[in-house]
Structure 1
Amino acid sequence: MKAIDLFAGAGGFSTGAAMAGCEVVWAANHWPEAVRWHAANHPDAEHVCQDLHQARWEDVPAHDLMLASPCCQGHSKARGKAHGNPQHDASRSTAWAVVSAAEYHRPELIVVENVPEFLDWQLYRPWELAMNALGYSVAPHIIDAADHGAPQNRVRMFLVLAKSRAPLRLNLQALQHIPARSFIDLDSGNWTRIDKPGRARNTLRRIEAGRKEHGDTFLISYYGNTMTGRSLDRPIGTITTRDRWAIVHGDSMRMLTRFECRDAMSFPADYQLPDNHRLAVHLMGNAVCPVPVSRLIRELKEAA
């Protein structure tokens, strides 16, 4: 099965498809760094750095499966006051590139990933009707990556679109959760003393609360409103596009390394990342978890 990847980012969708036995033949993104690292890890695919509003779909290879992760910032509640703000109209409109590509190529199957709030978008129903007009049924699936092979709680929506009269609903059985300790290496990273001068008061409060509940070794969210610690025996919380999770171990602490972020996302251990930590974390936090995607695509191939 040949696949293309719209809004390919760091390559989570492509990697999951490859794990499921698909051949990724084309990938596109508007960000040069994302295209660079996608190409480094998927050298056999054709790559395009382009705003997909201006895509020439006739130049895209024939394919059986279209993968797409339109920009989610305009939908996500994580944007706080900016959630639903008209300033994000341009990002929300990237979803219409999926309609445009589908109209030209008419692949048998399409999978679209986004945050669950995508279903609350004011234009979601017109978007769905446009896909129906092209002959596709649309079946939303809300999936937590931790239930499907990634050591991370990350809830995302996957729309399964198929040329079928009835929506194609997949029977994805939840797996046993993988704990965060499976990928955290206490012997690596840049540790600093917890009591160093200038440590934020809220950070110290989080650490104190974490010690009471989890002992000497645990995770904390370095920013946000979460004031409790998180056990290493649970999946980690959502990996974001900037450093979020810190490991507390005895009297020291550090942020996750870029490789731990990669492992938390369920990318293969040999997946290449930039040396720049901030860039690597951004790429990982903006990606799709490959292992859950591989399970979804395998199930889709059997059901179609």
Structure 2
Amino acid sequence: MKTVDLFAGAGGFTTGAELAGCTVVWAANHWPAAVKIHAANHPHTVHACQDLQQTDWRTVPAHDLLLASPACQGHSPARGKEKPHHDALRSTAFAVISAVEHHRPPVFIVENVPEFEDWVLYRAWCLAAEALGYSLAPMVIDAANHGVPQHRCRLFIVGTRSKHPITLKLPQREHTPASAIVNFDAGKWSPIRTAKRSPATLRRIHQGRKDLGCGRFLIPYYSSGSGLTGRSLGRPIGTITTVDRWGVVRGNRMRMLRADEARAAMGFPADYQLPPQHKAAMHMLGNAVCPPVARDVITGIMEAA
């Protein structure tokens, strides 16, 4: 299937589509750094760096499948303090409606946080898609159930030009533990007890040692993810976010999760290129779609067709 990827970011949706046998002919994002990384990993795709709310859809190639991951910051509970620019980003979802109105592809898939369904304009957004002849099948999917070593619940909305919403039979793959992605021989380690280490972090580490009975585990460096304790390496890591969140504990030393480990936790190939700057790499990964999940959803659509 010929495919286009809106809000393409680092390229997780594109990578998953290619794994499912699709040809991604066009991809766009507003952030030049993300477009550069996407192009480096997908050189045969035509790229556009633009505000998708201002796109002339006549310039976009015809396609069978449209993928879109509109901004989630205005919906995500991880947004932190209220930020007006995050509120404005919610309207980017209507770029999808604009695109499908012009091209009318047989299928489109939108990915976002589950809280997207709580948006005050969510029903209006759905009605707009339905007015264009699409039946919508929303589903919340945990990436861990698709072999990704991360618990990451995301909403996928499949729109099809059919009388009834599509029903997908998705595989339930074995969970991959975090131990598969953490390299204890790599990275810059520092003593756990330093003057700058917060009391909350020290409490989590102490409780993790007590609860898990070992000296190697993960901790959420901020927010929750495992409550007030450590997180076993024998289970998938918690959600990878756009900023450093997960600490790795080894005895009396610790470090933050590396970008290459986060790449593995997202299900990207080991040779997938990332920005050299750690901060930019983590930001792109935290916003990305897990390729194995995209692959399984698209494969499910093909099988149901």
Q: Distance in 2 between matches of 1:252 and 1:81?
A: 32
Q: Which amino acid aligns with 1:16?
A: G
Residue 121 of structure 1: how far off its partner (Å):
0.9
Cα distance, 1:89 vs. partner? 3.5
Structure 2 CA distance, aligned partners of 1:88 and 1:277? 23
1:144 lines up with 2:142 in the alignment: yes
* 2:235 aligned with 1:234: yes
Query: 2:188 — aligned with what?
Result: 190
Q: CA deviation at 1:87?
A: 4.7
Report what 1:220 is aligned to: 219
The Cα offsets for residues 104-153 of structure 1, whole Å up to 9 and x where unpaired, read as 11111100000111111111111111111111100001000001121000
Deviation at 1:86, TM superposition (A): 5.7
CA displacement at 1:196 relative to structure 2: 2.6
Equivalent-residue separation in structure 2 for 1:228 and 1:199 (angstroms): 16
**Are residue 28 (structure 1) and residue 28 (structure 2) matched?**
yes
Question: C-alpha displacement at 1:88, in angstroms?
Answer: 3.2
Letter in 2 for 1:66: L
Structure 2 residue matching 1:297: 3-state secondary structure: helix
Percent identity over paired residues: 60
3-state SS of 1:18 partner: helix
Q: Which runs of 4+ in 1 moved over 4 A?
A: none
- AA aligned to 1:63 is H
2:86 aligned with 1:88: yes
Match of 2:111 among 98, 113, 125: 113
Letter in 2 for 1:224: S
User: What are structure 2's unaligned runs of at least 5 residues?
Assistant: none
Distance (whole Å) between structure 1 residues aligned to residue 249 and residue 195 of structure 2: 17
Structure 1 residue 66, shift from structure 2 partner: 0.2
Compute the displacement of 1:81 (Å): 4.4
> What is the SS of the residue equivalent to 1:243?
coil
**Cα distance in 2, alignment partners of residues 206 and 22 from structure 1:** 44
Matched, 1:132 2:133: no
Partner of 1:201: 199
In the superposition, the TM-score normalised over structure 1's length comes to 0.97
> Distance between the aligned counterparts of 2:137 and 2:70, measured in 1?
17
Match status 1:4 vs 2:1: no
**Aligned equivalents of 2:259 and 2:168: distance in 1?**
33
Cα distance between partner residues in 1 of 2:49 and 2:220: 34
Match of 2:300 in 1: 299
CA contact (8 A) 2:171 2:296 kept: no
1:227 CA drift (Å): 1.6
Q: What's the offset of the Cα at 1:195?
A: 1.8
SS at match of 1:48: strand
How far is the alpha carbon of 1:55 from its aligned partner? 0.2
Q: Which amino acid aligns with 2:52?
A: L
CA offset at residue 200 of structure 1? 1.4
AA aligned to 1:13 is F
- CA-to-partner distance for each residue in 1:59-101, whole Å, 9 max, x for gaps? 101110000000011111222442xx76534211001000100
Greater Cα offset, 171-180 or 35-44? 171-180
Residue 163 (structure 2) aligns with: 165
Give the distance between the partners of 2:211 and 2:219, measured in 1 at CA: 12
Deviations 1:175-211 (A, max 9, x none): 1110000111100011111123322111111100110
What does residue range 49-64 of structure 1 map to in structure 2 within 5 Å?
A: 49-64=49-64
CA RMSD in angstroms comes to: 1.1
Partners of 2:218 and 2:232 within 8 A in 1: yes
What does residue 269 of structure 1 align with? Answer: 270
- Report the AA paired with residue 58 of structure 1: R
